[in-house]
Amino acid sequence: MNVVSVMAHQDDEMRCLGTMLRCRDRGDRLHFICLTDGSKGLVDRPDTGREEAAAVRRAEMSDLCGALGASYRCLGEPDEYLADTPAVRDALIDAIREAGAELVFTHYHEDYNADHVLTHHLVHHCAMQSCLPVIGRRAPLASHPAVFCVEPHGTSLFAPSHFVDVTAVEEEKVALLCRHRSQEIAMRRAVSAGFDDLCRVPDAYWGQKVGCRYAEPFVPMSGRGGTKPFAVLP
């Protein structure tokens, strides 16, 4: 199965990476798509130019994907200024098709960041269009991929219905995320916590709820095609 993370920024895969590692372990192929260039993420170096900052984020994400043998595609839209345009829709549809997406993880419809929220709505539209022949330059997918939304950051109401035990891969998950070195610095500055705490605390919370040490929670995307009548999560 082709498993795809479609997120706004490099490091947003934080809330599904453990599950993707579980998918890898069952033989699935992993793909990562980021809509923005992440160029506003260097909070400790605010004077860094867009191209230089984007290059840092691209190198970090490429390092993570290289460690996993995963593909990576960045649509390169301006960080914090993501817009819903025909060009962005066409690019995302083509990226989803290129990955051969069968299972997609993306943002929840409520989140603290506008890029996250818009990414959710773009995936809602583009996942549907990815299996229709009327839009895009690549051949359409055979069927609509299953789509699951990850836990948002902040205080948004989130009632998950699906859980994946990630206890066996939690250490690897944290180590991989630490390859986003610029964001480890940014998170410690912004919320006084690095990836270790940002992963283990919520994963332990959900694990306690469902009877394991660490778990990742999900909500299936409502609407046409995104929810399946069969199990797709590991």
Mean pLDDT of the chain: 96
Average pLDDT over residues 184-199: 91
What is the amino acid identity at position 5?
S
Asked if residue 209 is part of any domain, the answer here is yes
Average pLDDT over residues 45-50: 93
* pTM as predicted: 0.97
Q: Which two tokens stand for residue 114?
A: 């506008």
Asked if residue 54 is part of any domain, the answer here is yes
Average pLDDT over residues 9-15: 98
Q: How confident is the model at residue 43 (pLDDT cuts 50, 70, 90)?
A: confident
Instruction: Please tell me the total count of domains within the chain.
Output: 1
> What CATH number is attached to the domain comprising 97?
3.40.50.10320
**Residue 136 pLDDT more than 80?**
no
Range of the domain at 70: 2-220
Asked if residue 82 is part of any domain, the answer here is yes
Q: Which two tokens stand for residue 25?
A: 């372990």
Average pLDDT over residues 82-101: 97
Q: What's the pLDDT tens digit per position in 94-133? A: 999 999 999 999 999 999 999 999 999 999 999 999 999 9
Asked if residue 65 is part of any domain, the answer here is yes
**Residue 189 pLDDT more than 90?**
no
- Predicted local confidence at residue 135, as pLDDT: 86
Q: How confident is the model at residue 134 (pLDDT cuts 50, 70, 90)?
A: confident
The CB-side HSE value for 158 (13 A sphere, CA atoms) comes to 26
Judged by phi (left if over 0) then psi (alpha if -120 to 50, else beta), residue 76 lies in left
Asked if residue 146 is part of any domain, the answer here is yes
- Predicted local confidence at residue 67, as pLDDT: 98
Q: Where are the alpha helices (DSSP H) in the chain?
A: 17-25, 50-68, 86-98, 114-129, 170-177, 181-191, 195-210
Asked if residue 126 is part of any domain, the answer here is yes
Question: Smallest Cα–Cα separation from 123: which of 103, 151, 153?
Answer: 103
**Residue 173 pLDDT more than 90?**
yes
Asked if residue 232 is part of any domain, the answer here is no
**Residue 208 pLDDT more than 90?**
yes
φ, ψ of residue 43 to 5 degrees: the values are -70, -20
Question: Smallest Cα–Cα separation from 226: which of 143, 165, 159?
Answer: 143
Radius of gyration of the chain (CA): 17
Asked if residue 145 is part of any domain, the answer here is yes
The separation between CA 35 and the C-alpha centre of its own chain, rounded to angstroms, equals: 10
